[in-house]
Structure 1
Amino acid sequence: MSFLEYNVASTPAGWRKILHLNWALVLLLVAVAGLGFLMLFSVAGGSMTPWVQPQMQRFGLGLVLMFVVAMVPIWFWRNLSALAYAVSVILLLVVEFFGIVGMGAQRWIDLGFMRLQPSEMTKITLVMVLAAYYDWLDLDKTSRPIFVILPLVLIAVPVLLTLRQPDLGTALLLLMGGGAVMFLAGVHWAYFVGVIAAGVGAVAAVLTSRGTPWQLLQDYQYRRIDTFLDPSSDPLGAGYHITQSQIALGSGGWTGRGFMEGTQSRLNFLPEKHTDFIFTTLAEEFGFVGAVSLLALYILILAFCIYTAMAARDRFASLLVLGIAAAFFLYFAVNMAMVMGLAPVVGVPLPLVSYGGSAMLVLMVAFGLVQSAHVHRPR
């Protein structure tokens, strides 16, 4: 037994768990969040307020939550998954009747010290309950139609409640995240082909008609889709966001204009520069090199998640971690595609970088679950 192994073995159980954390993952999360603090400082004109200081406090609280969640055995989270999902759905119903309105949407519950966005929490609880379901279900039953119904219902309930807020971006992420867990659990590919075909057919029907299908969308949602198809159709109106974003991305070049030297954000041409379009600010100030560096950090985080899933103790832990990794990938991929004009603007923040309390805390709890699977894996 080596000196290090002896010291770990002789350490009290609680401290031993801390030593067994994936500290490389912790450092990656700190690095991405630190880059986010820099960008928020820049878009605030060199001030810690109104965004940097609250974001740092939330990240600090998120780190504490991550460590606490990581110390708890993974089986506890499996047993808690159904209750956590039920609570998140109840909170979505609370938003429906008592939520506060902001930016034309009713998405938040006012807790006094912060605004809670239950749809953010649902992104994780949905993955948890689906992972628990497929852990309980025999593998050979995964693709039987009768056993596909419940997962579809579990996905549909929060998706429909989120659409009513309205929040198309989060609803799509819930739909894709839940579908990813079903796919990873081994549900036959034919189901997904059928769903995709139906989706393509629905989109085609919407695009070829300005009648009833368009009435299913809010006016701003229709304008976003129309602008995505042709940004130049209304460059000073609905297409303003994406036009200014593309100008900023192009002006960054290889190495960028320099920290706090981005003209689009400094001169307030860039809308939502501290939330949805913060990646645009980063690309303008640090260029292609900065954008790729952030992407590399995200990919490394995904790699550690996949490693943890492969070494997991049971099917629940493996599916949970892979589901969180898939959701995390969807968040940053959709945001980057959105600001580059490759997807409609649907209001998806950049994980760990964009300003936002609920998203930050929920994401850190999610990585706490990843750490729990890592700490309690077979050794």
Structure 2
Amino acid sequence: MGILNHWSVLMLLLGAEVMYQQDYDEPYDSYDFEPEVPPDIEPPAFPHHTDYVNVYVPYPNECARECFCPPSYPFAMYCENRKLKTIPDIPQHIRHLYIQFNEIEAVNAKAFVNATSLRDINLSHNHIKSSMVDRGVFGKLKNLIQLHLDYNNLEEVPAPLPNTLERLFLGFNKISKLSADALQDLAKVTMLDLCNNKLTDAAVKGKILSGMKSLMQINLCNNRLKSMPSDLPASLLQLSLENNSISSIPEGYFKKTPNLMSLRISHNKLKTVPFKVFNLSSLMELNLGHNQLSKAFFIPRALEHLYLNHNEFLDLNVSLLCPTIQPTSPNLLTYIRIDHNKLRVPINTYIYLCFPRIQNIFYGEQRVDDNYLPPPVIQPSRPRSRGNVPDETQFEPSD
């Protein structure tokens, strides 16, 4: 895959709803998130859908009385921010259901009996509990492509889910385990968001995720992980593990994900990493900020953005970052952030030879190392003459 194609895929991923990059100076969970408040009036503009509407063909105008179905696009039903406590019955022709920002606690199969055309459901920002979700309620929707269940009170992933699903949003819940039953047969899922839950190492061990053969992006930020998740699928392009307690990366860990383009492991407990662990031919973004790293490591040729801020570097050994220079195949690094370390001297100018495309080195402020002892200043001893040393008083001027 060429560099241009890599950029195209990465930009597509960056358009996903939960795909964003921030460099936090404090742990992620220390922030107060203000709830999104949608307007009280009907939305003036509606999302662009790929479904083609033939204005000469009559379409059903049936719509739940609690909701709004725009005449310009009768396949969508808007029920958001209406203080609903239950899901209204969904007409058969509805393909897009927007019912976020309500007070719904239960998901009953009855509301979806006729909803055989649903492709997109947004149930985020409600109060849904796992114990009040009917088993298989989503599994029966054989056209479902996208499901938003983020910002609820789920303790586990609803099971089973339809094998047509491509994007699954489960962030900001209370999920502590991932059952094989819930994630099996999801071979078409390209994006899985599990940020801000209670997942531990036990939840992602084994082959829980390996069956998702089309997975391109997985977000596991702000959980309770202490080690890297195992058996990730080879299709993965972006891995987000910010705000966990990961302390090490095994040698050769990324051999199973050779196409990885973006890796975010900021706000963890890394002290050292294997020298060539990030030697991936497609890796373009590497965020290791807010760890405890102090030793340089090998930088792959394709990497463009490197974040090393808020670590423990006393110096940045450029010859380790870039052991060799290849004029015909230069390194592509353009940006490096190294602020809030313990650097005592500027970065060696050799870095511009190793990384000829670099445009910005954010040196910023550095922290004072309280344990740093400068090398002792040795005063040169007074030269001594061989033989008898004359008495200095004999050179004193006479009165």
> Do they fold alike, i.e. is TM over 0.5?
no
More helix by share: 1
TM-score normalised by the chain length of structure 1: 0.22
TM-score normalised by the chain length of structure 2: 0.21
More strand by share: 2
